[in-house]
């Protein structure tokens, strides 16, 4: 057995996990002791690690393999009994949640920066998921952070690298390591949820053509195995399907800007019937009809409204939930179904508590994330299969399904404007000023609108009573529209301001208009109230979704 080495170290500033773990530039993570400090902080938080079991894997981005070798040596030195590792170091984030839950591990370490770019000069991330398969709650991430502030040493082994590419078992310092196929367990779970026989009939129909853009990221192997191999979609249905350390030089964020190849195919001279894309770690999704963009807020509402068409959700839903910035389209479905609808802060961990307490079945957020209680993470490929199941059961194209939904429930026009790469100090000052003034905004005129209500969203968890404050400034206008201001917690450099606007419309003649036109007054009023141009120097966002 290899000797355990105790390495002296000193704390690094700024190792506080955000909404999705610790995300930094690769250059920071590759500093001597930096990754090791954070991993040891996780192990210290867990307490006595002897005999515990962990799942480990990531989205295949740059530094993924090296990080897994480091984590494995440290886990063995800290007395773990077993590691489950995806072949090649690969696990999509929803597949990791599936594996944690199926094999009953004590949690998992996910190596990913989600939809952020990858490569030597780009981003890396580490996230701990608990035994329920979901992101660690705030109490746990705070405990990890406290450990990083006082860490003095970490444990490791002086051994060579193990073979990550061969499925099977081996031993490292007395700890068992099992390299498993990262796709099979997840694919089997999907087959238990959806009607694969009927979806296969759809995908093998020569009149139905779809495209799935894996964006050179982790979902490629999953999409190929499920869509092309199990369900019989024609070869080439999955594009950009080979995971790449730098995501092919692109930005693996499934939106209209970064999934340009897919968008062009859906809007060309011979548009496909259905299109979808997933992000770096496989938890986000964008879905498109023929020449038709489906807003993530609408997608979530449509899935909930049509859940009865999917085998796993034939029975009534326990409840639904959405993040606060997400449009209120889901609320209207919940009201019709007479089930609870919870409004949570941004961050999937809040949904996890509700699912563990059997309060919700389906949930989602405007940032291209939807999921259900089958795992404890949002799940991009699950959402795509859900749409395919609805299409085949309803015998209607995606575009018609959405339009009929608007006719039935009304339409919540929604947009998100991202202002990226901002000066963190000035942007923080802007949000701080907005918070200070929020109680005095009622009755104020802003552009063509007046403010009816305003607050800084706070959430009390109905399960554990935890309180989360300062989750986003909300402004409600007299025309029924709403604006929300937040600083993103997923970036690694400078600041990103996110402005969300939505407005409800029921007039049938006004349900098919341009979103930016319908929200123009709200966007103008919001910019004026916050002083976006004054504080950021920007007159237009970098990304509109």
Active site residues: 114
Q: Which residues, 6+ apart, have CB-to-CB distance to 140 below 8 Å?
A: 45, 128, 130
Q: Residue 246 has what DSSP assignment? A: T
Q: Round to whole Å and give the CA distance between 108 and 145.
A: 17
| 3-class secondary structure, 375 | coil
Task: Indicate the length of the chain as a whole number.
Answer: 545
CA distance 285 to 282: 8
Helices (H) and strands (E) counted in the chain, each on its own, are 18, 27
**CA-CA distance, 243 to 217, in Å (whole number)?**
4
Determine the Cα–Cα distance for residues 393 and 198; give it in Å rounded to an integer: 8
Candidates 300, 271, 293; CA nearest to 211 is 271
Q: How many CB atoms lie within 10 A of CB 442?
A: 14
Phi and psi of 336, rounded to 5°? -65, -40
| CA dist list (Å): 3 to 171, 333, 421 | 14, 59, 46
Beta bridge partners of residue 21, listed in sequence order = 18, 19
DSSP string for 440-491: G-TT-EETTEEEEEEEE--EE-TTT--EE----EEEEETTS-EEEEEE-SS-
- The CA radius of gyration of the chain, in Å to the nearest whole number, is 23
Instruction: Work out the angle at residue 298's Cα, subtended by the Cα atoms of residues 329 and 370, and round it to the nearest 5 degrees.
Output: 100
CB-CB contact of 170 with 85 (8 Å)? no
Q: If DSSP codes are grouped into helix, strand and coil, which group holds residue 392?
A: helix
* Angle value at C-alpha 110, between 108 and 114, nearest 5 degrees: 150
Q: Which of 274, 278, 303, 273 is nearest to 222 (CA)?
A: 278
Instruction: Determine how many CB atoms are found less than 10 A away from the CB of residue 465.
Output: 7
Whole-angstrom distance between the N-terminal and C-terminal Cα of the chain? 54
Which residues 6+ apart lie within 8 Å of 268 measured at CB? Answer: none
Tokens 């990083």 correspond to what residue? 148
């Amino acid at each position: 057995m290899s000797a355990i080495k105790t390495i002296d170290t000193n704390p690094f500033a700024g190792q506080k996990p955000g909404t999705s773990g610790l995300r930094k530039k690769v250059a920071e993570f590759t500093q001597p002791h930096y990754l090791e400090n954070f991993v040891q902080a996780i192990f210290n938080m867990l307490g006595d690690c002897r005999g515990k079991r962990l799942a480990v894997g990531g989205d295949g981005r740059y530094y993924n393999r090296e990080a897994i070798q480091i984590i494995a040596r440290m886990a063995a030195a800290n007395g773990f009994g077993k590691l489950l590792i995806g072949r090649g170091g690969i696990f999509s984030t929803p597949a990791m949640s599936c594996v944690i839950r199926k094999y009953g591990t004590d949690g998992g370490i996910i190596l990913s920066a989600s939809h952020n770019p990858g490569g030597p000069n780009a981003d890396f991330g580490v996230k701990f998921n608990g035994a329920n398969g979901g992101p660690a709650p705030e109490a746990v991430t705070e405990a990890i952070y406290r450990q990083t502030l006082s860490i003095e040493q970490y444990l490791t082994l002086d051994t060579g690298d193990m073979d990550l590419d061969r499925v099977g078992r081996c031993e490292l310092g007395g700890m068992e390591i099992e390299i498993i196929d990262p796709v099979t367990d997840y694919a089997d779970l999907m087959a238990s949820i959806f009607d694969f026989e009927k979806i296969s009939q759809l995908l093998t129909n020569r009149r139905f053509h779809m495209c799935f853009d894996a964006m050179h990221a982790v979902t490629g192997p999953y999409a190929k195995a499920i869509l092309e191999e199990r369900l019989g979609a024609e070869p080439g249905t999955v594009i950009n399907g080979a995971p790449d350390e730098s995501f092919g030089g692109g930005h693996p964020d499934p939106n209209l800007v970064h999934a340009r190849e897919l968008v062009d195919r859906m809007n060309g001279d011979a548009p496909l019937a259905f299109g979808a894309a997933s992000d770096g770690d496989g938890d986000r999704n964008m879905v498109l009809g023929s020449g038709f963009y489906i807003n993530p807020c609408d997608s979530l509402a449509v899935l909930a409204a049509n859940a009865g068409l999917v085998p796993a959700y034939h029975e009534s839903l326990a409840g639904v939930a959405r993040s606060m910035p997400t449009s209120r389209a889901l609320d209207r479905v919940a009201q019709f179904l007479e089930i609870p609808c919870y409004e949570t802060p941004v961050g999937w961990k809040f949904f996890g508590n509700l699912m563990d307490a059997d309060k919700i079945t389906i949930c989602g957020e405007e940032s291209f994330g939807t999921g259900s209680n089958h795992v404890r993470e949002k799940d991009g490929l699950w959402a795509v299969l859900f749409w395919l199941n609805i299409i085949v059961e309803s015998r209607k194209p995606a575009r018609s399904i959405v339009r009929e939904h608007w006719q039935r429930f009304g339409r919540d026009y929604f947009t998100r404007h991202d202002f990226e790469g901002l000066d963190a100090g000035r942007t923080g000052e802007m949000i701080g000023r907005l918070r200070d003034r929020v109680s005095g905004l009622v009755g104020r005129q802003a552009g063509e609108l007046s403010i009816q209500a305003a607050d800084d969203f706070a959430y009390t968890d109905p399960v554990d009573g935890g309180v989360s404050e300062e989750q986003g400034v909300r402004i409600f206008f007299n025309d029924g529209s709403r604006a929300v201001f937040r600083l993103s917690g997923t970036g690694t450099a400078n600041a990103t301001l996110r402005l969300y606007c939505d407005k409800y419309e029921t007039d049938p003649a006004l349900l098919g208009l341009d979103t930016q036109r319908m929200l123009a007054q709200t966007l103008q009023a919001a910019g004026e109230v916050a002083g976006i141009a004054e504080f950021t120097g920007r007159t237009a966002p970098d990304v509109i979704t």
